[in-house]
Amino acid sequence: MRSVRGWHPASPAAMLMTYTGRRALATEISKSLSMPLSTLLFIPRKEGRGAEERTAGPPRARARWGTGRRPGGPPSRKEGFGGPPCATDNWRPVRFGLDFGTSNTSLAVSDGDSVRVLPIDAVAGETMPTVLYVRRDGTPIVGRAAIDAYLQDNRTRGPLTREVQLLGIRLPSTDPTHKSLEAYILADTSAPGRLFQALKTFLGDPLDTRTNVFGDAKGLEDLIALILVHVRNRAEELTGAAPDAITLGRPVRFIGGDDAEARATGRLRAAAKLAGFRDVRFVAEPIAAAHAADVGPGTSLVFDFGGGTLDLCVVRRDAGGLGVLATAGGPIGGDRATELLIEDAVAPRLGSRAEWGPKRLRLPRYIVNALRDWHALSALNEKPLLDALDDLVRAGAPRRELAALRSAIELQLGYEIFQTTDATKIDLSTVPAAILTYHHAEVDVDARVTRGRFEHLIRPMLDETAALVRGVVGDAGVAAGEITAVVYTGGSSAIPAFRALMHELVPNAVARDTAAFTSVAAGLAMPGVTEAAITG
């Protein structure tokens, strides 16, 4: 096999990519730790003497909330219902509801009569991005401010430097001569901070490890707790009371296999307790949304479509109250749609479809796959790989596309590209076509995207959704024609293709829109809302 300078089959990174079993394992760890895949090295270690062990139907409270505007948009004058509640009025909180989402987090509070959604993000208002950024000095920053700090710090960072550090975990080995593998990392010692996003998706992951955050070993619960501490502190600032009890939303199905349910709720409960919440309760998110929507008599279907999951709930309201007939959920999220759009509209500008030479050579598949996943793209920021890209240009690869790819990797532009593409995806819900524009350093993207093209890209997601809806309606023991309303919540629920699909599947249902980003939190805060048993 011909090698290029700094990147050859014998190099540690190339060895990691060669052995598919190790790569799959590394991918699992990388996602769980929000750690660059290519920094993971697996060093065989024999068991023996001295080997160190390591473990790595309720009262209908009056629900009110804000505009449900896009996260990051300018705060409304009406936000907080004419001003956030404070300790100087006669309003006193009795219950807090927290929707800790994959992409966004919102907090609502009830006084027993009305429900208010609090502007917990000083920049974004009621809808706080579920993002944590820890600077090198250990300072945690949460929400929109975390995104801004990450982007600013990486625009001004110095050259990349790395050193080998012990990760602190031991993994089973498939090599019969070694019982386990000691894991080390190539730590980026020049990184100004670590960004953590979509932590909720790892709650059910069977891999239980800790990550080194600038010398401080932190587990998933510790990282989530830093976000929840911010939420609790903001609640105290806005209401005058630090909440001891919290009702947390949870998806119908956690991602992570058969044991994911207990594992995920256990981790989330532990994180909440670390943040200072002594009494932690859970309610399925679509059930909370149904209460917030104050659904009328008859059978309704709640369609809770967020960044990471789609959660469904069939409910029936009669003289006895609101009963749950069936629930269902799956890993069908809006972030996945954004990644598909990146792959189609942005990645080609970074060389994903480039061919060169008489043998029509192309970029390695793992690089192409990384282009739609900003975590994986940031993991490629290593000198051997960057040198290899330069060698490919000298060998005939298109200079413009690979220069753009190099900039995206070296300047850590992946998350910013994701945000820009996500905004274009949102625009396509209201216009038939949009221009996806992103310009920074060598990256120049001006791509016209039509709604028709986008709907073609998400066709597999639509098919999965159709199967999920048919399944939950069948489990509820009702005919599709009996469903009289569909309650939409979650940012992705506004995508027209999914609305059209639902009209096709439940043709007699009337669309009921709620505040897309805050209705779940509002329902969670309502007194008496509990984790209802399925009555069907």
CA distances from 334 to 341, 462, 466 (A): 11, 12, 16
Q: Which residue has the higher pLDDT, 68 or 200?
A: 200
The residue type of 416 is: E
125's tokens: 């208002």
At 357-411, the pLDDT tens digits run 999 999 999 999 999 988 889 888 888 899 999 999 999 999 999 999 999 998 8
At residue 193, the 3 state secondary structure works out as: strand
pLDDT at 169: 59
At residue 445, the 3 state secondary structure works out as: strand
> In 3D, which of 58, 530, 533, 534 has the Cα closest to residue 248?
530
Q: Using alpha carbons only, what angle is made at residue 426 by residues 422 and 429, rounded to the nearest 5 degrees?
A: 150
Q: What are phi and psi of 426, to 5 degrees?
A: -65, -40
32: pLDDT confidence band, cut at 50, 70 and 90? very low
Non-local (6+) Cβ contacts of 534 within 8 A are: 324, 325, 326, 327
Distance CA 353, CA 361 (A): 10
pLDDT at 243: 94
pLDDT at 183: 65
Distance CA 448, CA 145 (A): 30
Alpha helices in 380-495 (DSSP H): 383-394, 399-410, 414-427, 451-457, 459-476
Alpha helices in 209-256 (DSSP H): 220-239
Burial class (CB in 10 A: 0-12, 13-18, 19+), 89: exposed
- Domains of the chain from N-terminus onward: 95-296 (3.30.420.40), 297-513 (3.30.420.40)
- Partnered with residue 170 across adjacent β-strands are 182
Instruction: Kindly state the percentage of the chain with pLDDT values over 90.
Output: 61
> In 3D, which of 524, 472, 181, 185 has the Cα closest to residue 303?
472
Q: What is the mean pLDDT of residues 10-22?
A: 33
Distance CA 128, CA 122 (A): 9
Q: How far apart are the first and last CA of the chain?
A: 62
Distance CA 35, CA 259 (A): 24
What's the whole-number average pLDDT of the chain?
A: 82
pLDDT at 383: 84
Burial class (CB in 10 A: 0-12, 13-18, 19+), 320: exposed
At 229-254, the pLDDT tens digits run 999 999 999 999 889 999 999 988 88
pLDDT at 303: 97
**Please, are residues 151 and 144 in contact by the beta-carbon 8 Å criterion?**
no
* Strand positions, DSSP E, 101-243: 104-110, 114-118, 128-129, 131-135, 140-142, 162-172, 180-188, 193-197, 210-213, 216-219
> Quick check: 355 pLDDT over 60?
yes
> Quick check: 159 pLDDT over 70?
no
In 48-87, which positions are buried (b, 16+ CB within 10 angstroms) versus exposed (e)?
A: eeeeeeeebeeeebebebbbbbbbbeebeeebbeeebbee
Non-local (6+) Cβ contacts of 312 within 8 A are: 252, 286, 301, 302, 303, 304, 327, 328, 329, 468, 469, 472
At 84-143, the pLDDT tens digits run 555 445 678 889 999 999 999 999 999 988 999 999 999 999 999 999 999 999 999 999
Kindly report the pTM of this predicted structure: 0.76
65: pLDDT confidence band, cut at 50, 70 and 90? very low
372's torsion region: left (phi>0), alpha (psi -120 to 50) or beta?
alpha
Q: What is the mean pLDDT of residues 328-334?
A: 93
Alpha helices in 156-188 (DSSP H): none
Q: What are phi and psi of 26, to 5 degrees?
A: -65, -40
In 451-485, which positions are buried (b, 16+ CB within 10 angstroms) versus exposed (e)?
A: beebbebbeebbebbeebbeebbebbebebebbbb
Distance CA 469, CA 465 (A): 6
CB atoms within 10 A of CB 18: 11
- The secondary structure of residue 197, as a DSSP letter, is E
At 483-534, the pLDDT tens digits run 999 999 999 999 999 999 999 999 999 999 988 899 999 999 998 887 654 4
> Quick check: 77 pLDDT over 70?
no
- The secondary structure of residue 345, as a DSSP letter, is I
194's tokens: 């670590």
pLDDT at 187: 65
CA distances from 230 to 21, 233, 419 (A): 39, 5, 23
* CB-based contacts of 352-356 (< 8 A; 24+ apart in sequence): 354/397, 354/398, 354/401, 354/402, 356/392, 356/395, 356/396, 356/397, 356/398
- Residue 336 CA from chain centroid, whole number: 10
